């Protein structure tokens, strides 16, 4: 490489998921040769996001506001609370149009080996909401993986103290799959035929 | 999406080649959830590169210096000049270790329909170098595509005025292929068995 700065850029692009040395080089040359405006905009927005995106005080999702737009909305059903593992899960559920309640984002799942317990998932905040808000049904939409199921089970027990129905989207989510990659109709079906945990 | 800023970031990532809405969303969430240091560094280096990377005054490749490291080097054979279409081609030729001369980068190929003629490819600068520098052989390593061949033919005629041998890497480059994606050994072979244009 005839330029240390371009070499640094190629290395920097490799922090992106799924981007190896070859794709990173292609990205660097493409932006510098053909789309400097797009590159400038990406640099600016990325800087802005890193500095200003934090977590919603109510649902823990990523947002630049103190409280995210969904939590702040008056047009969402406050009696329904959907628990998901990540902000990407909210995106896919919103795209399905199957749900008009509010969310709670764990930002992960229980994983004792990684030191991720109830505190790391913000479950005290979830309990506080179950205690104070008019929530009637808690839909636990963690991933149908071993960790996601264990997390759902833990949340179900935790919710027993409150007068709330606990359900889990059932039909259509492939076992071992990841919510983030599902199509809207599968997810719609899963929400429609959710079943109450006993 | 519960955050306009994250939505902007997802759109900004889609300027990258091969990155659609889904990958862009994955990149945005990954960086914000798990690698803010990497995101900061990417934003900084990208900003730096957009502001400071220009073209080498001698070979036209992308560089943050007035003259790139290869052009400035005393350890390269100044009697050999290799003409390529893009900076990425230099990277792959350097990786092959098959060439120790200097380069000239067209930053494209002749394409009258797109308004790209000899001036846009810097061919006056190339002629000035053929005129003043001790170049004995000009290796025209444009892509073996229709446009690349036409460009090579034009450069061959242009070089006729100067006492220089004109060659073209021959063996091993798949017809219709792109230099940038070749493996080192194929490219090595192509350089070793280059043939003189008649
Ligand atoms: Zn929120
Ligand atoms: Zn140079």
Q: What's the pLDDT tens digit per position in B49-76?
A: 999 999 999 999 999 999 999 999 999 9
Residues of chain B found within 8 Å of residue A91, distances taken between Cβ atoms: 1, 25
Question: Chain B residue closest to A29 (CA)?
Answer: B88
Best B10, B16, B48 member to test A by mutation, with max A CBs in 10 Å, is: B16
Q: CA A7 to CA B191: how far, in whole Å?
A: 25
A53, B3: Cβ pair inside 8 Å?
A: yes
- In the block, residue with structure tokens 């406050």: A78
Q: Is the pLDDT of residue B44 over 70?
A: yes
Of B32, B47, B68, the CB nearest to A43: B47
Chain B CB within 8 Å of residue A18 CB: yes
Mean per-residue pLDDT, A68-92: 93
Which is more confident, A198 or A77?
Answer: A77
Interatomic CA distance for residues A27 and A15, integer angstroms: 13
pLDDT tens readout for residues A5-44: 999 999 999 999 999 999 999 999 999 999 999 999 999 9
Say yes or no for a CB contact (<8 Å) between A5 and B32.
no
Residue B180 sits at the vertex; the CA angle it makes with B81 and A34, to the nearest 5 degrees, is 95
Question: Is the ipTM value over 0.85, yes or no?
Answer: no
Name the more confident of B1 and B178.
B178
Give one DSSP letter per residue of A132-194, joined into a string: HS---EEEE---SSHHHHHHHHHHHHHHTTSS-EEEE--TTPPTT--GGG--HHHHHHHHHT-
Counting ligands in written order, the one closest to the CA of A61 is 1
Three-state secondary-structure class, residue A92? helix
Q: Which tens digit of pLDDT belongs to each residue from B89-129? A: 998 888 888 899 999 999 999 999 999 999 999 999 999 99
Helix-strand-coil percent breakdown of chain A, rounded to 5?
A: 45, 15, 40
Taking CA–CA distances from A93, the nearest residue in chain B reads B1
pLDDT of residue B174: 63
* Token pair of A72 as six digits: 């702040």
What are the boundaries of each domain within chain A? 4-52, 74-167, 173-198
Q: Which one, of B92, B36, B88, B118, lies nearest residue A53 by Cα?
A: B36
Question: Rounded distance, CA B166 to CA A125, Å?
Answer: 73
Query: Is A116 in the B-facing interface, judged by CB distances under 8 Å?
Result: no
> In this predicted structure, what is the pLDDT of residue B41?
97
Query: What is the C-alpha separation between B55 and B66, in angstroms, rounded?
Result: 7
Q: What is the pLDDT of residues A167-187, one digit of tens each?
A: 987 655 665 667 777 777 667
Instruction: Using DSSP, state whether A15 is helix, strand or coil.
Output: coil
DSSP-assigned states of every residue in chain B: ---HHHHHHHHHHTTSTT--HHHHHHHHHHHHHH-HHHHHHHHHHHHHHHHH-EE-TTT--EESSSS-HHHH-SSSEEEEEEEESSHHHHHHHHHHT---EEEEE-SS--BGGGTB-TTTTTHHHHHHHHHHS---EEEE---SSHHHHHHHHHHHHHHTTSS-EEEE--TTPPTT--GGG--HHHHHHHHHT-EE--
Q: For tokens 């995101």, what's the residue?
A: B39
> Pairing relation of β-strands B77-84 and B101-105?
parallel
Rounded distance from Cα B84 to ligand 2 centre (Å): 12
Which residue, among A96, A84, A87, has the nearest Cα to A191 in the 3D structure?
A: A96
B4-52 and B74-167: same fold? no
* Separation of CA A67 and ligand 1 centre (Å): 5
Contact at CB, B50 and A29, closer than 8 angstroms: no
Q: At a CB cut-off of 8 Å and minimum separation 6, what does A167 contact?
A: A137, A138, A139, A140, A194, A195, A196, A197
Instruction: Tell me the fold of B74-167.
Output: Dna Topoisomerase Vi A Subunit; Chain: A, domain 2 (3.40.1360)
Q: Does B93 touch chain A (CB under 8 A)?
A: no
**pTM for the model:** 0.80
At residue B175, does pLDDT exceed 80?
no
Q: Does residue A58 sit in helix, strand or coil?
A: coil
How is domain B4-52 classified at the CATH fold level?
Helicase, Ruva Protein; domain 3 (1.10.8)
């Amino acid at each position: 490489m005839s330029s240390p700065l371009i070499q640094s850029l190629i290395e920097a692009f490799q922090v992106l998921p799924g981007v190896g040395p070859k794709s990173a080089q292609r990205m660097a040359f493409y932006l510098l040769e053909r789309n400097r405006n797009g590159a400038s905009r990406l640099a600016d927005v990325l800087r802005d996001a890193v500095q200003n995106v934090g977590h919603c005080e109510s649902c823990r999702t990523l947002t630049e506001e103190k409280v995210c737009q969904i939590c702040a909305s008056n047009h969402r059903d406050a009696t329904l609370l959907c628990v998901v593992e990540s902000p990407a899960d909210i995106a896919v559920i919103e795209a399905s149009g199957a749900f008009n309640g509010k969310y709670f984002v764990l930002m992960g799942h229980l994983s004792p080996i990684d030191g991720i317990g109830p505190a790391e998932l913000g479950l005290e905040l979830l309990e506080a909401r179950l205690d104070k808000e008019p929530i009637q049904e808690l839909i636990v939409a963690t991933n149908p993986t071993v960790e996601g199921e264990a997390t759902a089970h833990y949340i179900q027990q935790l919710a027993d103290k409150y007068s709330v129905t606990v359900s889990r989207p059932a039909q259509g989510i492939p076992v071992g799959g990841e919510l983030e990659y599902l199509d809207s109709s599968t997810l719609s079906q899963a929400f429609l035929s959710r079943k109450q945990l006993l």
